[in-house]
Chains A and B, each alone.
Chain A
């Protein structure tokens, strides 16, 4: 039993999640609800320490009509704190199940896992991030995706004010049916104030991006 717990803990320790900040101060919760052209997801992460978080992730992939439920964990590999810059390297991952009733699948359920690496860097004017994610959901899905984000703040807001960023997200999802291996470009606006962050955008595939992140 101890071995099983240890193995599960090790698997979780090397796994990872999505968007923005995955790990916060010890004892905090981060809840993220994300929607883009392909996917709707929900993440709830509890920061066990300032380097580890554990939680739950649900994904619904609209194109293939399949759902993934995972126990997820994130780890802050390294943080660079400079006088006017912060950069982070995260890894994250999850273990769970995928279900689909689409096409040849008849209420099929498969074990599923994902792994993710993310790097971000920002100062008060500029933001950039790169994320690579691999998902294996048995016979239902198996694919790699990557995402680049870049942003600029049109004004430098003080602590407690409304912060606004003009951002661009570029997704590479080779398996996305409507893109034929091409990139998806999504300009969007990011707003945050207090413990709430909202992102709203519209892609070149004419699909809406809408993300909300709340911390408590």
Chain B
């Protein structure tokens, strides 16, 4: 009987630990915003977009592609940026928005 309880306790502890581990390893990914912008031609000037995005606490990471003229912005989990704010960031950086899509 003692052995049964010991095994049961052990199994309970292992099972209890599983969700905790899963939560620890779950990637902390938020929404991704895809911005297509006009005027993204000069690397030196596009740095402005980088600087502006780095100032936003909502932004986890971003990628700028001069060939596709796209700025992909990954938000921190639980954070959001509405289209108006995204447009303002891009406009203050010196560019115009062509489209904004989200996933």
Contact = CB atoms under 8 A, between A and B. Distances in A.
A154 interface: no
A85 B95 CA distance: 11
Contact of B91 (A28, A50, A80, A122): A50
Contacts of B47: 194-195, 215
* Residues of B in contact with A, size category: 20 to 34
A106 interface: no
* Residues of A in contact with B, size category: 20 to 34
B92 A25 contact: yes
A82 to B, nearest CB: 6
A103 interface: no
- Give the dominant DSSP class at B's interface: mixed
Interface stretch (A57-65, A137-145, A157-165): A157-165
Interface string A18-57: 0011001110100000000000000000000110000000
B2 to A, nearest CB: 64
B66 A83 contact: no
B94 interface: yes
Contacts of A159: 43, 46, 64-66
A158 B39 CA distance: 15
Contacts of B38: 81-83
Contact of A28 (B41, B51, B69, B98): B51
Given A83-B69, A124-B66, A158-B67, A197 B44 contact: yes
A202 interface: no
A192 interface: yes
B52 interface: yes
Contacts of A205: none
Interface pairs A-B: 8 shortest CB-CB: A81-B39, A25-B48, A86-B39, A81-B38, A81-B96, A192-B44, A159-B64, A50-B92
Interface of A: 20-21, 24-26, 28, 49-50, 79-86, 122-124, 156-161, 163, 192, 194-195, 197, 215
